[in-house]
Amino acid sequence: MGVEEEYLLVDPVSRQLSTQADKVVAQAATELGDRVTTEITRYQVEVRTDPHTSLAELGDQLRAARHTVARAAAGLGLRIISSGTPVLGQRTPPPLTPGPRYARSAAMFRALDNEQSACACHVHIGVPDLSTALHLSNHLRPWLPALIALSANSPFWQAQDTGYASWRTMTWWRWPVAGPPPYFESRTHFEDLLDSLLTTDTLMDRGGLYWDIRPSHHVPTLEIRVADAAPTVDDTLLLAGVVKGLATLALRAIDDALPAPRPQPEMLRAACWRAARDGLAGQGINLRTGRLEPATAHLDRLFAAVRPTLETESGLPLLRAARARVRDEGNGADRQRAAHQRRQDLNDVIDYLVHTATAG
């Protein structure tokens, strides 16, 4: 497995976004090489890890990368935060990173690019072939609401509380090929659908599939893209560990020729919406019963399902500690709101995110 994380650059005095991502990336690249890059807006920095089988080693590399990017930003008088959305907002339209792909995206998708300073955490699971990736996607789809609730970390947008735990999820769903992926009947089904989307200019290319789960177009992985950027490395590791556990369970089911659960697409989307709105603080939709239940109940089932697959994992103590923090303090959205609640000051949220980005 491997991870991609996206960070935002902020000025520590004004707390506003900074457009110096290209300079930060250039400096960080002296240590990280091509594992650090720019993103669509000039506010964002992206890092990626090498493939790992150990969560502990993955965590070591993520911490080192965050510290490297933070030092590069500090050299320019800036700081990094890891949040699904900018807290105080951005210029509209945002300053895009120069390049033909981003220029083409702006021309094709127009105002949709105006909210692309949203940041995500992507977990890649290694797969032997596309057919396995599609089977794995089918098995993972029903867990998307729980993953959204666990990783929600974007309650604020344009200096306002949106009322959502993951507003980034809402901004991404505006894209033509986004949200929960379809249930794929076969590799041919996937290829035919992709061909139709490309032929009708709905996608620029294979990299424009913005489903919450998608086969990577350039590496042999299945990419789980549903999560907001995580406030801490421990939160990222909790997400990665859970995804690894779910993938292990799914691969066993595939080997045993067990069918994937197939919730109604409308109900799966509704459950994802509910998870994005309420996070862990409200109620979620049980896809088996079609009824509401405490969001924490779905999360408890998630952890119960993956726990046996992680018993021999060297990073299990890290996962247990991160799980305990989620139980006691909530997800990233809950913690952002707690930081704001103390003085009703959004600057405190920025300061909290600056501190947690490299804490631990």
Domains of the chain: 2-357 (3.30.590.20)
Q: What is the mean pLDDT of the chain?
A: 94
Tally of CB atoms within 10 A around 169: 28
**Confidence bin at 171 (pLDDT 50/70/90):** very high
Tell me the CA end-to-end span of the chain in Å, nearest whole number: 22
CA–CA distance, 7 with 13 (Å, rounded to integer): 18
Percent of the chain residues past pLDDT 70, beyond the cut = 100
CB neighbour list of residue 13: distance below 8 Å, 6 or more residues apart:
none
Q: What is the pLDDT of residue 360?
A: 63
Instruction: Give yes or no for a contact between 82 and 231, defined as CB atoms under 8 angstroms apart.
Output: yes
**Confidence bin at 90 (pLDDT 50/70/90):** confident
Q: Is residue 210 within a helix (H) or strand (E), and if so which, with residue range? A: strand 210-211
Q: What is the pLDDT of residue 279?
A: 97
Q: What is the pLDDT of residue 110?
A: 87
Instruction: Write out pLDDT tens, residues 41-81.
Output: 999 999 999 999 999 999 999 999 999 999 999 999 999 99
Residue 312 confidence (pLDDT) above 80: no
Task: Give me the numbers of helices (H) and strands (E) for the chain, helices first please.
Answer: 13, 13
Instruction: Write out pLDDT tens, residues 102-126.
Output: 888 888 888 888 877 899 999 999 9
Residue 194 confidence (pLDDT) above 70: yes
Q: What is the pLDDT of residue 300?
A: 92
Mean per-residue pLDDT for 272-297? Answer: 96
Residue 96 confidence (pLDDT) above 90: no
Residue 348 three-state SS: helix
- Residue 80 DSSP label: E
Residue 243 confidence (pLDDT) above 80: yes
Measured CA distances, 167 to 47, 70, 140, 157, 324 (Å): 22, 25, 22, 7, 24
**Confidence bin at 281 (pLDDT 50/70/90):** very high
The torsion angles phi and psi of 275, rounded to 5 degrees, stand at: -65, -40
Q: Which of 220, 199, 202, 219 is nearest to 211 (CA)?
A: 202
Q: What is the pLDDT of residue 115?
A: 77
- Token pair of 13, please? 């005095």
Distance of CA 305 to the CA centre of its chain: 21
Mean per-residue pLDDT for 286-298? Answer: 94
**Confidence bin at 217 (pLDDT 50/70/90):** confident
